[in-house]
């Protein structure tokens, strides 16, 4: 007896279906479908009757059934690292705007920099049959997406390259940006320059480190091991790393911060110092202008927009070979990067 009760409660409160609407309006099922989809071939009078029935019953089309029938979901998935990160907010929003322009919804999730969670999320989105997928890689092996891509899920990797798979990518010029930033410090007289970046398994982290080394090499400047620190970007570690560089036998006179989270912490630590230490950070930050922080800026919104547009171009049938787009960065001088060595 509990059987039937449970049943009727479970499936979303017994929502009315087109069949119910049809019955109430005294028309055929298909006619309701035509009205709901604004298809031609329905008399104004019939349409009115159907609309009234829809109104009265509180009917709403079940898109799951629609998707099942049509094959397209009009939705795309976005797997990013952390929705709460100020870099990804604008990126996500830009993707959403493009999706909206194409009549698609956005489903997104955060991987929290965990490769397993990235995979889990991406595959869950594929199971929902998103038309396309934008992934900010946490892991470095994306072969698990091969069947999906082959099956037609338009996929674009963003911010970091895909691993062991040939696919579309939209990246920022991490190497060039870091190189320019460090060269900027060198140009202002610095030689002992620290680098604090993210974990080495993250591509952008190693690219930026590579840029650092390139700039130092360009200037014929030696690099001490103790000036470089890669690892998780939680405040505690970054703080410790910064303080270590500032207090060693050969203390640095400038720091290059590998991303926005690092920059924020480094700024705090530097504010506590007596010496004025120069700083250039990768990624712009809100209010950085007021704090006078010199940054290498990458346009998160542009990255997201580019990726999404690329994705929809793919969906619209263009099946050129996988493309790799690299967007330039901009150095914005605001003071902290122009301080002379102390």
Partner DNA sequence: TAGGCCCTGGACAACGTTGTCAGCTGAATG
Partner DNA sequence: CATTCAGCTGACAACGTTGTCCAGGGCCTA
The DSSP annotation for 177-235 comes to HHHHHHHHHHHTT--SEEEEE--TTSHHHHHHHHHHHHHHHHTT----GGGEEES---H
Name the residue nearer to a copy of itself (CB basis): 17 or 226: 17
Beta carbons within 10 angstroms of residue 282's beta carbon: 27
Task: For helices 174-187 and 203-218, give the axis angle rounded to 10 degrees.
Answer: 40
State the minimum distance, in angstroms, from the CB of residue 316 to DNA. 18
Is the CB of residue 93 less than 8 Å from the CB of residue 106? no
Min dist CB 107 to DNA, Å, is 19
Q: How far is the CB of 75 from DNA (least distance, A)?
A: 15
Residues recorded for the chain:
342
141 in contact with a copy of itself (CB under 8 A):
no
- List the interface residues with a copy of itself, window 168-227 (CB under 8 A): none
Among positions 67, 165, 214, 223, the unique one binding a copy of itself when judged by CB under 8 A: 67
Q: How near is the Cβ of 50 to DNA at its closest, in Å?
A: 9
Figure out which of the listed residues 30, 62, 323, 328 binds a copy of itself, where binding follows CB under 8 A. Answer: 62
Residue corresponding to tokens 């940006």: 177
Interacting residues toward DNA by CB under 7 A: 11, 15, 17-19, 22, 26-31, 33-34, 36-37, 40-43, 45-46, 59, 61-62, 65-66, 68-70
Which of 122, 3, 91 lies closest to 306 in space, CA to CA? 91
* Binding span for a copy of itself by CB under 8 A among 165-173, 174-182, 188-196, 284-292: 284-292
Paired sense of beta strands 254-257 and 193-197, if any: parallel
Alpha carbon distance 153, 173 (integer Å): 26
Residue numbers at the binding site for a copy of itself (CB under 8 A):
10-15, 58, 60-65, 67-68, 70-73, 75, 82-86, 88-90, 92-93, 96, 100, 105-110, 123-129, 146-148, 150-153, 264, 267-268, 271, 285-287, 289-291, 301
């Amino acid at each position: 007896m509990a059987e039937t009760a449970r049943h009727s409660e479970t499936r979303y409160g017994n929502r009315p279906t087109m069949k119910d609407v049809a019955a109430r309006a005294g028309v055929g099922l298909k006619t309701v479908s035509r009205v709901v989809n604004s298809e031609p071939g329905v008399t104004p009078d019939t349409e009115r009757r159907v609309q009234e029935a829809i109104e009265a019953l509180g009917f709403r089309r079940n898109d799951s059934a629609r998707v099942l029938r049509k094959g397209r979901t009009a939705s795309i998935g976005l797997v990013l690292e952390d929705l709460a990160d100020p870099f990804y907010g604008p990126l996500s929003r830009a993707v959403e705007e493009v999706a909206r322009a194409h009549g698609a919804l956005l489903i997104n999730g955060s991987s929290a920099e965990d490769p397993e969670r990235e995979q889990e999320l991406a595959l869950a989105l594929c199971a929902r049959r998103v038309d396309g997928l934008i992934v900010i890689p946490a892991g470095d092996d994306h072969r698990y997406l091969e069947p999906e891509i082959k099956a037609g899920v338009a996929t674009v990797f963003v911010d970091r390259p895909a691993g062991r798979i040939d696919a579309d990518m939209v990246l920022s010029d991490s190497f060039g940006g870091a190189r320019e930033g460090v060269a900027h410090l060198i140009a202002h007289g610095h030689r002992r320059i620290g680098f604090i970046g993210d974990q080495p398994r993250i591509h952008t982290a190693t690219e930026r480190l590579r840029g650092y080394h390139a700039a130092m090499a360009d200037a014929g400047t030696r690099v001490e091991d103790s000036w470089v620190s890669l690892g998780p970007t939680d405040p505690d570690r970054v703080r410790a790393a910064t303080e270590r560089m500032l207090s060693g036998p050969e203390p640095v006179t400038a720091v290059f911060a590998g991303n926005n989270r690092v920059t924020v912490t480094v700024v705090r630590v530097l504010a506590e110092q007596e010496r004025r230490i120069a700083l250039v950070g990768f990624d712009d930050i809100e209010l950085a202008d007021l704090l006078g922080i010199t940054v290498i800026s990458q346009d998160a919104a542009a990255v997201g927009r580019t990726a999404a547009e690329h994705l929809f171009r793919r969906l619209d049938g263009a099946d050129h070979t996988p493309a790799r787009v690299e967007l330039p960065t901009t150095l914005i001088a605001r003071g902290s990067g122009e301080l002379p060595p102390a």
